[in-house]
Amino acid sequence: MVKMTIEEMAGYLDEVFPQVDGMFGIDRIDDELVVMRLLNHDRHLRPGGTVSGPAMFSLADVVAYVAVLAHVGREALAVTTHCSIDFMRKPEAGVDLLAEGRVLKMGRALAVIDVLLFSEGNRQPVAHASLTYSIPPKRTERAAG
């Protein structure tokens, strides 16, 4: 059961990552799926009008982070420990890049999230990523442990 709404999540991201303000939009957060999009992506373009690899990585990383937060609640300390990403197709010019994140495992200490990136309106994936987040124990647990 997700613990944060789109509005709560957007407010939280603005608070903890002010430097990416306006870079990402959140379309959907529920138990099955988190969907986000890369906004204002002109500044991420490479020659030929395509989105850069680092911008795609950023989008995959943030959708995984949001999927973890949605399940565990505000836990700003969750950190990426691993990402495997396959870049498969050139993103289409002139449309937004979307990312769908699915939680494959939400363990006590590790979460694994599967992410697919699409050009809006085309279901052939642009990239596919698997990310692992480490979820440090909460301060009270640590104090007790």
The CB-of-3 to its own copies minimum distance in angstroms stands at: 20
- Residue type for position 133: Y
**Residues 131, 114: Cα–Cα separation, whole Å:** 7
Examine residue 114 and tell whether it contacts its own copies (CB under 8 A). yes
- Report yes or no: 11 and 20 within 8 Å, Cβ to Cβ: no
Tokens of 14: 């603005």
Distance from C-alpha of 41 to C-alpha of 94, rounded to nearest angstrom: 9
**Residue 58 binds its own copies, judged by CB under 8 A:** yes
Among positions 87-106, residues that touch its own copies (CB under 8 A) are 87-89, 104-105
Q: Which of 28, 86, 93, 138 binds its own copies (CB under 8 A)?
A: 86
Shortest spacing between CB 84 and its own copies, in angstroms: 4
Min CB(19)–its own copies separation in Å = 7
Nearest to 100 by CA among 134, 70, 71, 125: 125
In this structure, the number of other CB atoms found within 10 A of the CB of residue 102 comes to 15
Residue ranges that bind its own copies, judged by CB under 8 A: 16-17, 19, 43, 45-47, 53-54, 57-58, 61, 76, 79-89, 104-105, 107, 109-110, 112, 114, 125, 128, 130, 132, 134, 141, 144-145
